[in-house]
Chain A
Amino acid sequence: MNWLKKNKLLVGIGLFTLIIFLGYKYTYKPHKTIENLAPVYTGNSIEFLQKSSLDFKQWNTKIIEITGQVTGIDTKGITLDNQIFCQFKHVEKLSILSQNQKITIKGRVVGYDDLLEELKLNQCILK
């Protein structure tokens, strides 16, 4: 108690620094990356489509890991089974893929695109 009274200023500065530090850490917390997030669905892409088509909204922003066949490759991503577009996180990975190849992808569900009638994923990485 005596020590606390003596070093009031020091304790004050210490507490102040701690609050600033915690506040800063909270405000500038890093983005959660796809690599570190656990998928809420793992399985076959066609089965996922059947399941999610009941209520697409519910799956928005969820992380999923799906296996399917590559039916299209463009400059930013691939199409799985003609109905799921996966935008890649690292586009250089696209060059190792080929048509009709069976692959597993982890990505974040953006949502169901009514314009193109397909499900859209982004930040996709190969598994």
Chain B
Amino acid sequence: MESWRLHRIKRKIMKKLIIITLLLFSQLVVAQKYFTRTGTTHFKASVEAFEPVEAINNSSTSILNVASGDIAVQLFISAFQFKVALMQEHFNENYMDSDTYPKTTFRGKLSNFSLENLQNQKEFPLQGTLTIRGIKKEISTIAKVSFKKNIIKLSSNFSVEPQDFGIEIPSIVRKKIAEKINIKINYELAEKK
């Protein structure tokens, strides 16, 4: 009888311990991530003297693992907003095929990343794979990061070429679209709870 009771108490304690460990562990894991759903991604392919070819995407999702520096970005091509509606239409239908390839993703890593001493902006090398229209390309750039009021501000820029992703530009507009497309990112990441 006595040993049976002891066994029950033991089991209860074990259960509680497991729950507590799980809780602690899950918090540890969750606290390491910062994210945004409304990051700004901007691209510019303008040629001087012609109409500006640029657009902004204010719905970019990004998750940063602050322990490892791993970063993931995902955005939808159709959420790029152009000043000229017709240009937006052509961008989606003729150049990016956003029906077939709705997403663009980036998976990379901030080298030697640490949240310490980030009150002032610091630069970290950023390397990763950009996937546009299902075609992968390695990107290597520098990211500027600061950490204030529990918000991580991350900005960076790099350039790509349309042919890297199999995007054909008809010769009639070739002169109006830059050879290199500049991409700028600006994300404000908050702690993921």
Of the residues B59, B62, B72, contact of A120 by C-beta under 8 Å: B59
Of the residues A27, A57, A60, A76, contact of B86 by C-beta under 8 Å: A27
B102 at the interface (CB under 8 A from A): yes
A110 and B84 contact, CB distance less than 8 A: no
B74 and A113 contact, CB distance less than 8 A: yes
A111 and B84 contact, CB distance less than 8 A: no
A51 at the interface (CB under 8 A from B): no
Among A1-9, A28-36, A37-45, the one that faces the other chain is A28-36
A60 and B84 contact, CB distance less than 8 A: no
Chain B, Cβ-Cβ closest to A31: B85
Of the residues A26, A31, A57, A113, contact of B61 by C-beta under 8 Å: A113
User: How many residues of A are counted as interface, with CB atoms below 8 angstroms from the partner's CB atoms?
Assistant: 23
Tell me the bound Cα distance from A110 to B79 in angstroms.
6
Tell me the bound Cα distance from A87 to B38 in angstroms.
8
Tell me the bound Cα distance from A44 to B44 in angstroms.
39
B37 at the interface (CB under 8 A from A): yes
A60 and B85 contact, CB distance less than 8 A: no
B103 at the interface (CB under 8 A from A): yes
Chain A 57-92 residues near chain B, CB threshold 8 A: 57, 60-61, 74, 76-77, 85, 87
Tell me the bound Cα distance from A1 to B12 in angstroms.
104
A29 and B86 contact, CB distance less than 8 A: yes
Q: A74 to chain B: which residues have CB within 8 Å?
A: 190
Tell me the bound Cα distance from A87 to B81 in angstroms.
14
A13 at the interface (CB under 8 A from B): no
A76 and B38 contact, CB distance less than 8 A: yes
A39 to chain B, nearest CB (A): 17
A96 at the interface (CB under 8 A from B): no
A27 and B61 contact, CB distance less than 8 A: no
Chain A, Cβ-Cβ closest to B100: A57
Tell me the bound Cα distance from A15 to B12 in angstroms.
90
A87 and B35 contact, CB distance less than 8 A: no
A115 and B86 in contact, given A87-B38, A110-B59 (Cβ under 8 angstroms): no
* B residues neighboring A (CB under 8 Å): 35, 37-38, 58-59, 61-63, 72, 74, 76, 78-79, 84-86, 88, 98-99, 102-103, 190
